[in-house]
Amino acid sequence: MVLKRLSAVLLAMLTMAGLQVAAAGPAAAAPRILYYDASQAQEFVAAVNQGAQIWNSRVTNVRLQPVPAGRTPNIRVYADNGWPRTYSSSLGNGYWYMGREAVNDGYYVPRIAAHEFGHILGLPDRRTGLCADLMSGSSAPVSCKNPNPNATEIASVNRLFATSAALPAREFAFAG
Ligand SMILES: [Zn+2]
């Protein structure tokens, strides 16, 4: 309760400071829900769900949920033979591909799924080469089996969704 009250106060202060915040809805109390549609992810549906669960178990300001029937998803997931890649239209919205090029090269599928969701959640690529960084993508060794965002990546996503940050449309490729 204390935390919720504190975040409400913080949000009010940010609003007064002129930063962009959500225009409607209860202030920062509930996480923002993003619906994803994995029905076209072919053999990768389970990996897509796993990628969503990884984020759900670590961030507090946003939740990724399977889209209910009759509702338009925020996120669509596809699969093809190219490289994994994401096309984000704004924070929390867009589509991404599970690409068999990376899968066939041996990159860990749950890591790819969590990484591409990371772009939808507002994180850019950071090609540090480190397995501990989820957003290092293909710059980490093929042997890297870490599908989890690090503390900095988690904090960044929470911060972006706390203020519903406005992000420009962008494209991200797993290899580059
Ligand atoms: Zn990427």
Alpha-carbon span 46 to 35, nearest angstrom: 16
Options 101, 116, 153, 171, the catalytic residue: 116
Distance 46 CA to ligand 1 centre (A): 20
Three-class DSSP category at 148:
coil
Q: Is 116 a catalytic residue?
A: yes
Measured CA to CA in angstroms, residue 112 lies from 27, 78, 168 at distances of 32, 13, 22
Distance between Cα 38 and ligand 1 center (Å):
19
One pLDDT digit (tens) per residue for the chain, 176 residues: 455 565 665 555 555 554 444 445 455 568 999 999 999 999 999 999 999 999 999 999 999 999 999 999 999 999 999 999 999 999 999 999 999 999 999 999 999 999 999 999 999 999 999 999 999 999 999 999 999 999 999 999 999 999 998 999 999 999 86
Query: Strand, helix or coil at 169?
Result: coil
pLDDT of residue 22: 46
Residues with Cβ within 8 Å of 29's Cβ and at least 6 positions away in sequence, in order, are: 4, 7, 8
What is the per-residue pLDDT for 21? 47
User: What's the CA-to-centroid distance between 92 and ligand 1, angstroms?
Assistant: 15
State the distance from the centre of ligand 1 to the C-alpha of 40, rounded, in angstroms: 20
Q: What is the DSSP secondary structure assignment for residue 5, as one 8-state letter? A: H
DSSP 53-107: HHHHTT-SSEEEEEPPTTS--SEEEEEESS--EEEEEETTEEEEEEEHHHHHHT-
In contact, 88 and 76? CB cutoff 8 Å: no
